[in-house]
Structure 1
Amino acid sequence: MKNVPYICGMKQKFAHIIIGLLWACNLAAQTTVTGTVTDGRTPLPAANVFIVGTIDGCLTDTLGRFSFMTTQTGDVTLKVTYMGYDDYTRTAPVSTLKDIDVRMQERATAISEVVVTASTYSFGKSDGFKTMDALDVVMSGNSCGDVVAALQSLPGTQKVGEDGKLYVRGGESDECQTFVNGMHVLVPYSTNTENTAVRGRFSPFLFKGINFTLGGYNGEYGQALSAVLPMETTDMATSDKLGVSASLVDWNIGGTKAFTNSALSFNATYTSMALYDRLFTQRQDFTRPYRKLSGEAQYKKEYTRGGVLKSYVGYDLTSVGLHEDDRHLSLKEHNIYANLTYKAPIARGTTLFAGIANSSVWNHIDDAVSAGDHYRNHRNEIHLKTELRKVVNDRLKVSTGIEDYLRHSTLDFMPYQYTLDYNIFGAHTDAQLRVMPKVFVNLSARAELMRTRWQLMPRATLSYIPNKQWQVSLVAGRYSQTPNDDQLAQSNNTLPQSTANHVILSMQYKGASSLLRIEPYLKRYRHLPRIPQGEWLADGYGTSRGVDVFVEDHSISPRLVTTLAYSLNDSERLYQDYTELSTPSFASRHNLRLSAKYSIGKCILGVSESYATGRHFAQGTTPHYNSVDVNLTYLLSPKVIIYTSLNNVLGRTNIHRYDANGKGIISNRDRFFYVTILVSLKNNKAYDISNF
């Protein structure tokens, strides 16, 4: 046994020799891969570097350096990945992968993901930042459920209390046009007596998206000198809905019946000021209270290959009687609007859109200007439109389309009588291009033919979007609009289209709890209708310049939302019966709106302050406008909401304008009290009674 230690020692030495030889062989078979990962300027720490098909690799250090060993031989593929950057790959002999310089390229946003917000306010949820939805419209401090009134809380709009319509950046109300599912609406407002604010015709619950564009819109939209209001109806419902609402002035019932691949919806509203007029004092002497009966219906169908058919029809009957001086004014209006649209993919990345819309309005007014006269007016428009849209690749998106506006108008109002028929043919093409990872260009051209005269309108937007928070855009373009039917008829249909050139600089910051937008702009008008000596000419002109500021903040408290909207506008025009270049009577230089909404438990309390400087008339300048409005929303149960508001709490008598005799025109009431209850009759929540 004396040889045992010796034998064991020999075995250990032999094992050590074998292990050493294997280790040496392994070292000889391994290669060290080294290098640095940067974005061309700064190192990228924690980038993942590895050989494809193996587990050989590592993460870069704080200086972007990497070093690891691999047993691979011959050609290999080195791959580097880093969040927010395109993957880097390099195929080469493994022996050459030493001290390599890897420069990562920041991943570019796909063109289909780009949303340029220049001069546009999107209502609904966009990029996770909630700006306004249907319920916000209904419960805005002074809107009383009116889309148009809610939009007047935005910068760029001006307060014109005697008619309540949208006036944008020094432009007439007719310069803002409304589109539903891409189809034009001839008359988007209800009617009322002179010097009384009107309301928009459409329920906010009808729409899933509202994109109010104050200028600089692309070639798809025409016949609008200042702004467009495109609204998209809701998608097809997947469950049945039924809801009712009631207030002192209107009563509503609406619902939806959902089928397998389609849905049918209806909505009916009756509005009457009779009860309200008896409860609260007023200044005007109504012989017949304001009443409106309206109904809406929609049918939506989805097809197996992705096609979507949408149809909508709405009808309003409005009537009111008013005793004023020696007149007994009697007004009645019928307004019907219907559209049918179809959108479907027809090839890879290509979508076809086609639509038809019809607008018809009949106005009957007795004692319109003087006792015994009769005003009869009928306006009709058929809008035909088709468009192809294609996402070519991650860098380019294009669209092209044609459309036709077929218009007919008759007037019987002594001494004016006419019948007018004309059409406006339009064609457009748009291209949105990513020229650099953070730089985008939208180029569009629109051409319109009226009679034998073509109008060419180039438009362009240059946007720099460095991240999800910041966006800077420069917008320039030309826009045109046909004079109104009365002007065309009195000029024997010879007036050309008016034009406006827009230049807008848009700067926006959108954080997790705040939004800031600043937009200076300039508009130059040409060929405005002017009637210097009883004959209509197209030699009017003007400018409108200013800056809009919008701030929305959620940071003070999760329960509190505050907004500030300010507009500075300086505009001058020589048009219509103006004898010199003057500030138009509808324009006020400064407009300011402050609002706050606080949620506590089942209640939402809102307060807003609206201010506008005086407007200029030949008879003088009106005092400034001021109104403090409050509203309260209470969720009585999951299916019942009570909403109440009081406009102009301080009771200020605002003078909206002066008449020819220098008399101040004021509202029928200084204050307006509104209370309504919204109830769901199905299993859905009250917030979802959405009639559609």
Structure 2
Amino acid sequence: SIVDLTTNGLETEDKASVAVMSVGLNASWAKRWEKSSLAVTGLYANSTLTHKLFKQHVDWTKAPVLGDGMLMFRQQIGENGLLKSFGSFNSISMGMNYDNFEAGTMDNMKMDNLNFYTNTSYTDQLSEKWLIRTGVAYSRDSEKINYAGIPVTTVNTGASVKLTFTHLTTEKFKTRFGGDFNRGWYSQTITSDSTISMEMIDNLPSLFAETEWKISKKLALRTGIRAEYSSLLQEPALLPRISAAYKTGTYSQFSFAWGKYRQKPENEYLQFAPDLSPEKADHYILNFQYRKHRRTFRVEGYLKYYDELVKFASLYSLVAADYNNDGYGRAQGIDFFWRDSESLRGSDYWISYSFLNTSRDYQDYPESVIPSFASAHNLSVVYKRFFERLKILGGITYSFASGRPYNDPNSPVFMDGRTRAYNDISLNLTYLTTLFSKDCIIHLNITNLLGFDNVFGYSYAGTPDESGTYPSQAIVPTTGTMAVLMFMISL
């Protein structure tokens, strides 16, 4: 769980709306009083109709059913204080027949997930130069998966408290410091011929300090350091970070950031090898941004080094010695972003492109290669236009990603396979109207409009067939083209 200390103000007005969708219902309500406000939203979604209308690549035994809710209460306290309480839950249930092509069977699989999160934060100005932010949070995620009659229950629970003080030393210099305490519980129970239960608890106290210094009208510097200790990993860490920004003109600036980071290994590794160390990373980021009127151009380059990544002889090995922190990796790339809401009347468009060059020697990799999740080239083009006379807002998005690597055990070279490129064209139309003097919206969203046959990778059998070849199966989206229609009315 993470304490959110963002201090959004009160709701601006009383409002309520109801939306009827082809996949379910959504409702929202907000009330504003003089010094407080309350907002509530709820969602119910059921994919049964969608699955009947659009071809599925999955043999569903139970279409996904989703429930979602949120509550936000805000209260002004005194002249500058703000108390905020937030709570949310999310539940999803589904079932399918999984194609176990290696065994030649269709294995029944069911999944039920329930997630709950809540936090309360308080922000105030203690004096002319002192600010305080504090908060507590709690979360619980429970997932039950039943595969071929073998139930697996996994529960992740977290609680945290955070306190931050800010001192406005001068107009050009301020200091921020504080601490937080996070406690996490993880448990997993597998029931087969016998019951296997695993449990872990991690206490993570930390202290941090940060300074912001406006050295001149053009140059600003931020430095920080974080100290933390994990009771589970029994390893302290000191993580320095620094960033700087330099204005090159009225509308442009350069910025640079460097920092050390660490991350706890995945619970699925720690439950078998609790003596693993944290995975570590060094980040270097250089950014240039130009913003004038309603146009934005941004380019960002980065270099990241990873060390002490988890490696293992085989996934889910029960032998602790099969796991170690000998993995490493790197990533370097550049991102471009351009947005223009000025040049074309009634239109807004943006283009983003990223190039990634990365490699990893981790998990069960025998050598350093491009990992299976990495796509070297990614492009997104979005165009939106408001047709004022028709009261229609239209938008179209094109997404492209170059092929990702995968390992073909039939090849002597590790990870030399490449999927075909990913393509998607999505369309959305929003019609603004009124009904009984109430504002209404009719919204249509279509994904993969042209029905591109996208493939995310391939899964292979663990043993070869009679011809000595490892059979494979493509990993594809659950559906090709899909559409969602929504009607919403403000009450």
TM-score after normalising by structure 1: 0.63
Pair 233,627 (structure 1): closer, same or farther in 2 beyond 3 Å: farther
Residue 4 (structure 2) aligned to one of 177, 181, 195? 181
The one of 464, 474, 486 aligned to 2:256: 474
Q: Is 1:310–1:340's contact at 8 Å kept on the other side of the alignment?
A: yes
* Equivalent position SS for 1:278: helix
Aligned-residue offset at 1:234: 4.3
Whether the 8 Å CA contact 2:109–2:145 is kept in 1: the answer is yes
Residue of structure 2 aligned with 1:340, choices 107, 120, 123: 120
1:577 to 364, 381, 387: 364
Separation of aligned partners in 2, 1:524 and 1:461: 18
Residue matched to 1:290: 64
Q: Residues of 2 paired with 1:269 and 1:349: CA distance?
A: 43
* Post-superposition offset of 1:554: 2.4
How far off its partner does 1:278 sit? Answer: 2.3
Equivalent of 1:674 in 472, 484, 490? 484
Does the C-alpha gap of structure 1 residues 544 and 648 become closer, same or farther in structure 2, counting only changes over 3 Å?
same
Q: Does the 8 A contact of 2:289 with 2:296 survive in 1? A: yes
Residue 508 (str. 1) matches residue 295 (str. 2) = no
RMSD of the alignment, in Å? 1.7
Give the match for residue 412 of structure 2: none
**Could you tell me which of 136, 140, 145 is aligned with 1:360?**
140
| Residue 259 of structure 1, CA deviation | 2.4
Alpha-carbon offset, residue 416 of structure 1: 5.4
Give the drift of 1:428.
1.0
In the alignment, the residues of structure 1 paired with residue 151 and residue 186 of structure 2 have an alpha-carbon distance, to the nearest angstrom, of 17
**Aligned amino acid, residue 199 of structure 2:** T
CA shift, 1:522, in A, is 0.2
Please give the alpha-carbon distance, in whole angstroms, between the structure 1 residues aligned to 2:80 and 2:488.
35
- The equivalent of 1:276 in structure 2 is 50
- The one of 415, 432, 444 aligned to 2:212: 432
Matched, 1:640 2:440: yes
Matches within 5 A, 1:38-77: none
Give, as a single letter, the amino acid of the residue that structure 2 aligns with 1:505: L
The answer (yes or no) to whether the contact 1:532–1:579 under 8 Å persists in 2 is: no
Alignment of 1:235-254 (within 5 A): 235-254=9-28
Deviation at 1:435, TM superposition (A): 1.5
What per-residue deviation string (whole Å, max 9, x for no partner) do you get for residues 288-314 of structure 1?
A: 111012222121100123111100111
Letter in 1 for 2:345: P
SS in 1 for 2:460: coil
Q: Deviations over 1:396-424 (max 9, x none)?
A: 12100101110111111258531111111
Aligned to 1:652: 452
Q: Is residue 317 of structure 1 aligned with residue 91 of structure 2?
A: yes
Larger Rg: 1
Kindly provide the CA deviation profile for residues 449-483 of structure 1, in whole angstroms up to 9, marking residues without a partner as x. 11342111111112101444111012111111111
Give the drift of 1:320: 0.6
The more displaced of 400-409 and 417-426 is 417-426
**Shift of residue 513, structure 1, vs aligned partner:** 2.8
CA contact 2:145–2:151 (8 Å) conserved in 1: yes
Match of 1:397 among 174, 199, 206: 174
- Decide which structure has greater strand share: 2
Cα distance between partner residues in 2 of 1:466 and 1:621: 42
CA contact (8 A) 2:55 2:480 kept: no
- Residues of 1 paired with 2:118 and 2:386: CA distance? 39
* 1:663 is aligned to 2:473: yes
Please state if 1:631 is matched with 2:428.
Answer: yes
Partner residue of 2:384? 597
Q: Determine if contact 2:227/2:236 at 8 Å carries over to the other structure.
A: yes
- In 2 relative to 1, CA 622–238 (structure 1 residues): closer, same or farther, beyond 3 Å? closer
Residues in 2 aligned to 1:595 and 1:233: alpha-carbon distance in whole angstroms = 31
Task: Summarize the alignment of residues 218-257 of structure 1 with structure 2, pairs less than 5 Å apart.
Answer: 232=6, 234-257=8-31
Mapped to 1, the partners of 2:371 and 2:386 lie a distance apart of 41
TM-score by length of 2: 0.89
User: Within 5 Å, which residues of 2 pair with 1:485-504?
Assistant: 485-491=267-273, 493-504=274-285
Q: Which moved more, 1:251-260 or 1:545-554?
A: 251-260
Structure 2 CA distance, aligned partners of 1:409 and 1:585? 27
1:538 aligned residue: 325
SS of structure 2 residue aligned to 1:436? coil
The structure 2 residue matched to 1:622, chosen from 394, 403, 419, is 419
Matched, 1:330 2:110: yes
Distance 2:51 2:341 in 1: 40
The residue identity in structure 1 corresponding to 2:164 is E
Pick the aligned partner of 1:445 from 211, 219, 225: 225
Q: Is the 8 A contact 2:188 2:198 kept in 1?
A: yes
1:622-671 superposed Cα distances (whole Å, 9 cap, x missing partner): 00001111111111136111111211111111001111243211112111
Q: SS where residue 432 of structure 2 aligns?
A: strand
How far residue 490 of structure 1 moved from its aligned partner, in angstroms, is 1.0
8 A Cα contact 2:54 2:482, kept in partner: no
Contact 2:3–2:135, Cα closer than 8 Å, also in 1: no
Using the TM superposition, give the Cα deviation of residue 374 of structure 1 relative to its aligned residue in structure 2, in angstroms: 0.9
Question: Alpha carbons of 1:546 and 1:416: their partners in 2 closer, same or farther (altered >3 Å)?
Answer: farther
Match for residue 350 of structure 1 among 130, 133, 149: 130
1:180 Cα deviation after fit: 6.4
Letter in 1 for 2:82: V
Q: As a proportion of its length, which structure holds more helix?
A: 1
Q: Could you report, residue by residue, the CA deviation over 1:94-114 in whole angstroms, capped at 9, with x for unpaired residues?
A: xxxxxxxxxxxxxxxxxxxxx
- C-alpha displacement at 1:238, in angstroms? 4.4
Distance in 1 of aligned mates of 2:121 and 2:361? 40
Moved more, 495-504 or 273-282: 273-282
Q: Is the 8 A contact 2:139 2:159 kept in 1?
A: yes
Say whether 1:260 aligns with 2:54.
no
1 CA distance for matches of 2:160 and 2:460? 38
Letter in 2 for 1:670: G
Structure 2 partner of 1:195:
none
Task: Tell which has more relative contact order, 1 or 2 (C-alpha 8 A, sep 6+).
Answer: 1
Aligned-pair CA distance for 1:538: 1.3
Whole-Å Cα distance in 2 between the matches of residues 616 and 430 of structure 1? 41
- Contact persistence 1:472–1:505 (CA under 8 A): yes
Matched residues in 1 for 2:45 and 2:271: separation?
35
**Offset, 1:366:** 1.0
Q: Which residue of structure 2 lines up, in the alignment, with residue 161 of structure 1?
A: none
| Cα distance in 1 for residues equivalent to 2:422 and 2:155 | 35
The whole-number CA distance in structure 1 between the counterparts of 2:12 and 2:334 is: 44
Q: Using a 3 Å threshold, how does the CA distance of structure 1 residues 678 and 468 change in structure 2: closer, same or farther? A: farther
Deviations 1:296-336 (A, max 9, x none): 21211001231111001111221111112432211111111
Aligned counterparts of 1:416 and 1:606: Cα–Cα separation in 2:
51
| Residues 389, 398 of structure 1: 8 Å contact kept | yes
Paired with 1:627 and 1:665, the residues of 2 have a C-alpha distance of: 17
Unmatched runs of 5 consecutive residues or more in structure 2: 100-105, 409-416, 462-471
Q: Is the 8 A contact 1:180 1:233 kept in 2?
A: no
Q: Is the 8 A contact 2:92 2:112 kept in 1?
A: yes
Q: Distance in 2 between matches of 1:548 and 1:474?
A: 15
Contact in 1 for aligned 2:89/2:116 (Cα 8 Å):
yes
The residue number in structure 1 matching 2:400 is 611
Equivalent position of 1:157 in the other structure: none
The residue type paired with residue 431 of structure 2 is Y
Counterparts in 2 of 1:558 and 1:276: CA distance versus 1, 3 Å: same
